[in-house]
Structure 1
């Protein structure tokens, strides 16, 4: 049995992940981490007695799990993944907010500890395909903006998916003349900027996770959009990550790179 620890198990994504792991043959939910819990009885959370509940990552011992599945918050994810790698657990990370420098540092740490892992800006297949199609379209439409829309509780902006989309687009769009900066009568009205690509973040109740990539050309436009209406849609990608992380020899960024 492959032992899985879920960090952030009490959150919306964490609860979906708990149900997934419990349903997968060959996998065991050996441990969960919830920040500053006072009740460490697994049955209080509908878990088996064999599942250890931790209130802090520092309490997790080496050997507690083979895989560290992280659905926590941006402020904690770097330290969580560092801890997992130092204690022999392969990370599968759905938490966004890592900087490029932090990802590089984690990749070095994974190499030093002889572990593979996965950092996925998005586990939804529609989002992965959107990023793939947007990268392809950028070769023909270099003028582009991104709008992402999420629930009001999402902590980071722009989303990891939107930022990953911008990075992929920037790799493939040809050199072009950038339109002159417009005057913002209200600062921030034109959104954030990644290598000339404007990103706009919306946070409203009623939304889950949505993204539009808008390409503009002479006399025409192209819009690519994906919508995640329920968090259960992410679990097919999480399943792939759990099943394949044991075969990885490095810390990979992007679900599309292991499909």
Structure 2
């Protein structure tokens, strides 16, 4: 049995993850931590793996504590950048054997969407990403959209493609979205949405749209549980669930 602690257990995703762990025959939920709770309970309960769905402001402190106490970490909290990833790598280097998975999205459909987008990228002159989320999301664009755009940009570079055609000379601030490695990313925040992404590709007289939709937080649970089961076998920092799925 893998002993699991959920950080952010009172949140919508955290509560869904806690319920998923409780249903699994090979996992045991031994700690549920909410804002203001002491992390000492993770040591008292001898937790093997934590799942973190908290906030960008809290996640680094949580990882500092867990990694340096030998606890594996599966992280769905967003707000990571290169500086934060490097800090996690440094903590892992000082604690050999600890595995950390940081995934911008745990929905299997979203992971496949990112993989498909990278496959398609070399065949189209243009590509843009549009992501749609609920209005309570704290970051924009989403980590999923940023990782999707980075994958498209990498695939374009590997294929020897240059800049995308765009003759825009006048634009209102933000009208072309964020520029992520040369790929424009647009963030929509709208009541009624949960987590959705479209990647639109275009070339001469044709286009391709890849769309992914998560209609509820339970869509993330199977991917999270895969991470919980596999993280101990992947020491150090892993970015993206695709590495665990062989994509």
TM-score by length of 1: 0.88
Contact residue 135 and residue 191 of structure 2 kept, 8 A = yes
Q: Structure 1's 150 and 182: CA in aligned 2 closer, same or farther, altered over 3 A?
A: same
Shift of 1:183: 3.9
Shift of 1:179: 3.0
Shift of 1:184: 4.5
Q: Structure 1's 150 and 91: CA in aligned 2 closer, same or farther, altered over 3 A?
A: same
* Counterpart among 77, 83, 87 of residue 101 in structure 1: 83
Q: Which residue number corresponds to residue 10 of structure 1?
A: 10
RMSD: 1.7
Q: Which residue number corresponds to residue 219 of structure 2?
A: 233
Q: Which residue number corresponds to residue 45 of structure 1?
A: none
Unaligned runs of 5+ in 1: 37-54
Unaligned runs of 5+ in 2: none
* Whole-Å separation in 2 of the counterparts to 1:62 and 1:106: 24
Q: Which residue number corresponds to residue 55 of structure 2?
A: 73
Shift of 1:58: 6.3
* Counterpart among 87, 112, 117 of residue 134 in structure 1: 117
- The structure with higher relative contact order (CA 8 Å, sep 6+) is 2
Task: Render the CA deviation track for 1:61-103: whole Å, top value 9, x for unaligned.
Answer: 4764111110001122122212210111100001111112211
Contact residue 99 and residue 233 of structure 2 kept, 8 A = yes
> What secondary structure is seen at the aligned counterpart in 2 of 1:139?
helix
Matched, 1:206 2:188: no
TM-score by length of 2: 0.92
Shift of 1:59: 6.6
* Whole-Å separation in 2 of the counterparts to 1:185 and 1:256: 36
Matched, 1:186 2:172: yes
Shift of 1:30: 1.5
* Whole-Å separation in 1 of the counterparts to 2:40 and 2:170: 46
